[in-house]
Structure 1
């Protein structure tokens, strides 16, 4: 049991470092815009580029992993560390984009491998717990990593923030070597076309549409969270780090609640929750007119941010284990792939909303995607009910 706890900590740490690296752009948006003499919307597209590369590269890498998965994780972690180190020395915006692309290429496969390791090391009764905590590693990054990185950037410069991320990355590599099983080998896979058969199943394609729309709805506004706090709600810059921390706590609560929902009602609980989220996002433009009502509204949205993660991850893995064992590693990556596709769509849509309707309208854009998520989850529940009938 002690070994399981240590290995679980390492898998959660991997998620934390990945989340720290991915989400930090949101916390230092203004600093990067100033450094490279570009507008905030242009820097915001770093989020879009990262997420799109992540979504494209992850299925390609995961579907071609054929040998020792420990070695694969180690190599990918080294590439990830190199990409973050390159960011430190970026002399211009173009090199910054290249460094983020390098990090994005391997991030999704690292998440997938973490989830694959989790299914091996966790007893069946601990799987939902470990999966929810692996996803919670990203929320912990929001709670501690992004505010810490934002404070470091404001106080010492954004390059010091990426030095911090690189140090965490090196520590993670050391712990991977010391703690994770070295002999985990990929089960026999079919060729790439055989693995992609899984997408013909409505339980899968409705699931990935659901995940895409869910994250898109959040990231229309989340990409611009710091400018919303500073410009729409007029908070003093000294309070921004605290507000980002509180939002991160709400997203952590969201991930932990996700595990409870997975154990309790699973996907059946989601239509009601999406209906509430739709109202919260739709009301945001009105509530942002008042500092405290707007802040409460944003924090409540944070509590809904990741509720879908564990129920959908366990649903997809369950379908793959039963009906598509040749696609198991690919299936483990679908949640993160389509989360990042959603992030890409949402952040791009957010940029369009900000450019055409203004910063206060991002909630309306998010509510459109959440409406589609609501429809998708209702359809998925009907398909699941028909399969069991």
Structure 2
């Protein structure tokens, strides 16, 4: 495997950490900047919204820039965003910093994935891309819990200081180990959006959107949820986030295996149903630490096991535009994250944290409805063909 692949994985790990790290720092930031937890939660929303809209736009604008050079530019902007986060005197400046981080992060992750595919042979291309996604998922497993602990002991600003240092190390690695990579032809945004006229494709994209909306309605506010319902310490919350993340990595493998064994439609329908049940059971699971950990494991596993099945379904539903659908799915996913975090912020300000879990579970059920509709369209198409 080319050494540059591992450098790209490190870069995506750093970028992914910044995206989700706010979930473990909500109370700390809210207290320091004198705003509510729900308001701080909007930092996740604005990040995901800028990522969703910015990724296709920025990639199109920079389509003629050599890829290593583009990565270095994006990582430089990313570093500046972290510095601004560290020195933010108020919520408004921190919000601006998040916009800068999201814009640069979108370029880092998308370019890392496409670059990985272009610097290795076709025989190991899948494994190379898999390593990049391991960097992203590892940020959830290790980055968020580690950032939470650092924030508790040294202040939330030091978490961004650590990410800033890691971004500089990533840049040095890119300079030393990553070769120059010529840009690939870009696809106009209008052409990308036009593919959504297909009802089956659109309904599959809505699965990701609704699933992540429901998931982040509660996940973004998991720390205040655990504090208010069980009075857990920061250490125990970090352990809970770590367990959730490890379960997520296992879920990715289970989702891929199940897709190969039973097919995408069956896997999606079953996993969405189990995901909805696990989220709805979360308020009940707070009766004991053991039941909580069991539900967190199930929730983490099911929430991150759906991506392989969804990608497989998109590839089969849109054989001629599979690459476009992967990019659009990334945008649909981040819009879902943004909406879920915003909705969760409104709910937690007006009601108890338990309400977030109930609403999140209901939205996941809507994703199940979208999945059933999509696969019914496929059945009709097959029936007409026969």
> TM (normalized to structure 1)?
0.89
2:197 maps to what in 1? Answer: 200
Is 2:352 the counterpart of 1:350? no
Residues 71 and 263 of structure 1, relative CA distance in 2, 3 Å threshold:
farther
1:310 maps to what in 2? Answer: 308
- 2:196 and 2:212 map into 1 onto residues whose CA distance is 20
Return the match for 1:11 from 8, 27, 31. 8
Equivalent runs, 1:179-190 vs 2, <5 Å: 179-187=177-185, 189-190=186-187
Equivalent runs, 1:324-339 vs 2, <5 Å: 324=321, 328=323, 331-339=325-333
2:274 maps to what in 1? Answer: 276
Is 2:353 the counterpart of 1:381? no
1:255 maps to what in 2? Answer: 252
- 1:314 and 1:72 map into 2 onto residues whose CA distance is 30
How far off its partner does 1:348 sit? 1.5
- 1:51 and 1:275 map into 2 onto residues whose CA distance is 25
2:359 maps to what in 1? Answer: 365
Return the match for 2:214 from 194, 212, 217. 217
How far off its partner does 1:386 sit? 5.9
Return the match for 2:43 from 34, 43, 46. 46
Q: Deviations over 1:120-156 (max 9, x none)?
A: 3455565554444433323311221111111111111
User: How many residues are matched?
Assistant: 381
1:111 maps to what in 2? Answer: 109
Residues 199 and 142 of structure 1, relative CA distance in 2, 3 Å threshold:
same
How far off its partner does 1:314 sit? 4.8
Residues 285 and 243 of structure 1, relative CA distance in 2, 3 Å threshold:
closer
Aligned-pair RMSD on alpha carbons?
2.5
Residues 309 and 121 of structure 1, relative CA distance in 2, 3 Å threshold:
farther
Moved more, 211-220 or 276-285: 276-285
Q: Deviations over 1:137-189 (max 9, x none)?
A: 233112211111111111111121111001111122222233334133212x4
SS of the residue corresponding to residue 350 of structure 1 reads: helix
- 1:74 and 1:316 map into 2 onto residues whose CA distance is 32
Residues 17 and 255 of structure 1, relative CA distance in 2, 3 Å threshold:
farther
Structure 1 unaligned runs (5+)? none
Residues 137 and 369 of structure 1, relative CA distance in 2, 3 Å threshold:
farther
1:139–1:252: 8 Å Cα contact kept in structure 2? yes
Equivalent runs, 1:73-152 vs 2, <5 Å: 73-121=71-119, 126-152=124-150
How far off its partner does 1:343 sit? 0.8
2:148–2:234: 8 Å Cα contact kept in structure 1? no
1:23 maps to what in 2? Answer: 20
SS of the residue corresponding to residue 264 of structure 2 reads: helix
> TM (normalized to structure 2)?
0.89
2:171 maps to what in 1? Answer: 173
- 1:9 and 1:342 map into 2 onto residues whose CA distance is 29
How far off its partner does 1:211 sit? 1.0
SS of the residue corresponding to residue 303 of structure 2 reads: coil
SS of the residue corresponding to residue 304 of structure 1 reads: helix
Structure 2 unaligned runs (5+)? none
SS of the residue corresponding to residue 368 of structure 1 reads: helix
How far off its partner does 1:73 sit? 2.6
